């Protein structure tokens, strides 16, 4: 399957160029926000120093709120652009799998045809993730409260417990995400199906290809897991290490996306052949 994935990318270099450009533009747009991000992260880190909490002036609070508002606006803009990009890029991947060729014309057509479907899928995905997060929090929150009680509000202990909870949450997602990750190719390959029907198709594909998809999800979550395990997330942006995240995304995004579409297309072709033989 990997061989077919790399062959697909080799025949369609736009599938590599477009996500690399998207990641590069995201990085360039975020660079001016780095000072504000560092200030917010610094404040969050200092909150753990319960014995000597930070002394905030009114101006500091206003600056933090302004920075958070700017970041929120940027996040909303990123969401809109991501929906537009995924609509076109997903259509290119589907065309490459079905017809062997992906062009900018197909990208633009995908924006017109699939934006509404991607928006609905995005909203439903958020609802599902919120539900999963609530379930996970039912297990992790007692861990945090127990740790706080035992440590006597020791900042270091609380931070370590929080890190452990984040790692546990990532591990839980590692085994849950394979059930829904094939929803992405189903949206575009099952062109005439509705959002919930595509979710059902993606679920079945996830069940049938569970173990390979666990490896895919691990590949996706690996940078986040490394951050939680080896790095102080509050100081990560003070160094240049965060740039490695963008490099990783630029490499992983086209490979993972193409792999999912190739695997889904192969599965659908096999099902079609079985129905014809019967």
Higher model confidence: residue 249 or residue 93?
A: 93
pLDDT score recorded for residue 55: 58
Q: Can you tell me the distance from the alpha carbon of 214 to that of 174, in angstroms, rounded to the nearest whole number?
A: 6
Q: Is the pLDDT of residue 228 over 80?
A: no
170-217: per-residue pLDDT in tens? 888 889 899 999 999 999 999 989 999 999 999 999 999 999 999 999
Q: Can you tell me the distance from the alpha carbon of 23 to that of 30, in angstroms, rounded to the nearest whole number?
A: 11
Q: Can you tell me the distance from the alpha carbon of 62 to that of 127, in angstroms, rounded to the nearest whole number?
A: 32
SS3 readout for 172-198: HHHHHHHHCCCHHHHHHHCCCCCHHHH
48-86: per-residue pLDDT in tens? 554 555 555 666 667 777 777 888 888 899 999 999 999
pLDDT score recorded for residue 166: 77
pLDDT score recorded for residue 57: 63
Instruction: Show the CA angle centred on residue 209, arms to residues 207 and 212, nearest 5°.
Output: 130
Q: Where are the domains of the chain?
A: 2-277
């Amino acid at each position: 399957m990997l061989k077919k994935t790399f062959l697909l990318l080799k025949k369609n270099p736009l599938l590599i160029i477009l996500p690399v450009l998207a990641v590069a533009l995201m990085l360039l747009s975020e660079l001016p926000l780095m000072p504000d991000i560092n200030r917010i992260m610094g404040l969050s880190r200092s909150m753990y120093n319960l014995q000597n909490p930070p002394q905030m002036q009114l101006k500091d609070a206003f600056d933090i709120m302004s920075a958070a508002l700017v970041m929120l606006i940027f996040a909303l803009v990123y969401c809109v652009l991501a929906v537009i990009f995924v609509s076109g890029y997903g259509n290119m991947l589907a065309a490459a799998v079905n017809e062997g060729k992906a062009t900018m014309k197909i990208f633009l057509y995908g924006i017109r045809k699939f934006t509404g479907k991607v928006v609905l899928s995005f909203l439903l995905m958020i609802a599902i993730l919120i539900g999963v997060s609530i379930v996970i929090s039912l297990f992790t929150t007692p861990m945090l409260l127990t740790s706080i009680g035992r440590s006597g509000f020791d900042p270091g202990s609380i931070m370590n417990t929080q890190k452990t909870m984040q790692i546990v949450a990532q591990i839980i997602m590692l085994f849950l995400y394979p059930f829904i990750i094939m929803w992405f190719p189903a949206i575009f390959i099952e062109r005439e199906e509705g959002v919930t029907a595509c979710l059902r198709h993606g679920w079945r594909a996830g069940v049938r290809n569970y173990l390979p998809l666990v490896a895919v999800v691990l590949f996706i979550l690996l940078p986040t897991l490394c951050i939680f395990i080896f790095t102080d997330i509050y100081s990560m942006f003070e160094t240049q290490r965060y740039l490695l995240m963008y490099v990783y995304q630029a490499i992983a995004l086209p490979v993972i996306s193409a792999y999912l579409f190739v695997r889904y297309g192969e599965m659908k072709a096999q099902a079609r052949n079985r129905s014809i033989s019967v």
